[in-house]
Chains A and B, each alone.
Chain A
Amino acid sequence: MGKYMRRRLLQVIPVLLIVTVVVFFMVHLSGDPTSMMLPQDATQEARENLREALGLNRPLHVQYWIFIKGLFQGDFGISHKYNAPALPIVLERIPASLELCAVSIVLSVVIAIPLGVWAARAHGTPFDSLVNALAVLGQAMPSFWIGIMLILLLGVKWTLLPVSGRGSMAQLIMPSVTLAIGTSAQIIPLVRSSMLEIVHEDYIRTARSKGLSERTVIYRHAFKNALVPVITMVALQIPALFGGALITETIFAWPGLGQLMVTGVTNHDMAIVQACILMITFITIVVNLCADMLYCLIDPRIRM
């Protein structure tokens, strides 16, 4: 296991490096930042001076080196909108994003696992078909439309829930449900098919023939093994969830990273955008790494 994990950890380094190169070039190609920082009628000389001060006249690789050095020192650039370093502004938003992401992951697992297991046990019955149909429908509906429809019904028509902001439990419900619908729709078919595959295994037959109760067979023997692909799937959903949260946060005015990023793009605030992307990517990589470790713990075959 140690060897596998060491190799897995080492792989993260080039990935992070490539991410920084991609982000650096994306930001670099975004044009001349001085045009955003100076007033319209600034002289050519003032522009040149600022370019010189920002190091924009140096060769690309030198600029990249400075960029990387800055990242290690926690310097993610200065946001011209907030007129402050970008990193603290981004860090401030992380709790809100993590809260939303965690709640919706938990919610979608709580919805998906029982539904998937029940559908597999009721294989071929109308209940099974119903769960399947719901899962397909959940995947087909774009999350932002689900959000809009929830606002329309729960917020505007029946005025049950607040439609925006963060602070109370009630405000958390709609955005997390919006995200959870799509995510659980992805997980349900996987739980179902993985359960269906496993109930035909020999060790399940053995467990049954030993006279164990159906409950023990399903939850102790089958479910534990069916969980392995589900963990990967949940981990794979996390980047998608951040991407989806971008829109969901905008719709519900949830003050997370996604919303900051969207306003950053609208304001052409490259420092903020860059810091957001790096932060979200970093979180994604860490989460995937954790999923791999968990995978390792659950399925001993991978440790080899």
Chain B
Amino acid sequence: MGKKNAHKGANPPSGFRKYAGLLFRSQTGTIGFFILLMILIIAIFAPHIAPYDPTSVDLRGMRMPPFWMEGGSMEHILGCDNLGRDLWSRIIYGTRVSLLVGILSVLLAGAFGIVLGMVSGFYSGWIDSVIMRVTDAFFAIPRILMAMVVLMVAGSSVGVLILIIGGTSWVPFARMIRSEVLALKEKEFVKCSRSIGTKGTVILLRHILPNVMSSFIVLCTMNIAGNIISEAALSFLGVGIQPPTVSWGVMLAEGRKFLGTHWWIGTFPGIAITISVLGIMFLGNWLRDVLDPRNQGIK
């Protein structure tokens, strides 16, 4: 049974259609998919969608409220910030940094974590102990603290931010992949392969890697959401993205100063973050349900 199930992950039925069908049967999965699609489109076509330049200052529109409030106008639907910059356009441009940092940092962390996790789980012995203790150490140092110090030292740019967020978020990948490999190692198909003299690296790449991919994809998706929040948090603290580059975290930090009088400046970027994270989490939950072999009941 173990053999059959394990190979199911290795050779998924080549059906884009099957997955599309499954996706639209799940309500939250569909919502998540469309939110992510929407954000991707907004990020890619930002210059065509945004009504204004996100950095252009319009003194007449200074602190203009959203359109439904007194003094607001349809020209700036979400109103303007303290410098008269259109909030809607800024939120649109903010998706770019969020997605870029979120996705690239996860790819980095995932690549790093999957290698460490596979090596550590497969070879065990001293190499496992070393990798796991390093993982424990990185787990114990709060990520945001480490990121802050490195950003303070290295200076801040989108590239550095991706490296830092990626470089501090690989721990869950390494841990999860390791535990999966530990279990897979004992399966018959790995033992069989070993008994006919297949080399360790070949077993690892050919037999084990495909079987950890589904959990890996789920973890990647979930981590994009987390890393988007990390980016916003670092930018909010002033060590992440630096103005004039637009980021939701920077917008929140600016909005915080005007909470008492102009609530909209700090409210809308937060809603943008929440919606994006929610969409990605929905999609991740759906992927987990579909890809996890233990949930094959929902075929």
Contacts and interface: CB of A to CB of B under 8 A. Distances in A.
A142 B133 contact: no
A277 B146 contact: yes
Contacts of B136: 11, 15, 18
A262 B237 contact: yes
B140 A148 contact: no
Contacts of A120: none
Contacts of B256: 148, 251
Given A26-B153, A30-B152, A262-B237, A140 B259 contact: no
Interface in B232-263: 232-233, 236-239, 252, 255-256, 259-260, 263
Interface residues of A, number: 48
A142 B141 contact: no
Interface residues of B, number: 43
Contact of B133 (A18, A27, A149): A18
B140 A136 contact: no
A253 to B, nearest CB: 12
B161 interface: no
A239 B140 contact: yes
Contact of A266 (B229, B232, B238): B238
B228 to A, nearest CB: 9
Given A15-B140, A142-B233, A148 B149 contact: no
A277 B142 CA distance: 8
Interface string A216-250: 00000000000000000000000110111011001
A18 B137 contact: yes
B163 to A, nearest CB: 14
B145 interface: yes
B267 interface: yes
Contacts of A151: 259
A161 B152 CA distance: 34
A269 B42 CA distance: 40
Interface in A13-56: 14-16, 18-19, 22-23, 26-27, 29-31
Pick the most buried of B145, B232, B259, B275: most chain A CB atoms within 10 A of its CB: B145
B133 A277 contact: no
B66 interface: no
A250 B148 CA distance: 14
Nearest to B269: A145
Given A242-B142, A277-B142, 6 more contacts: A140-B277, A148-B252, A148-B255, A148-B259, A239-B140, A242-B145
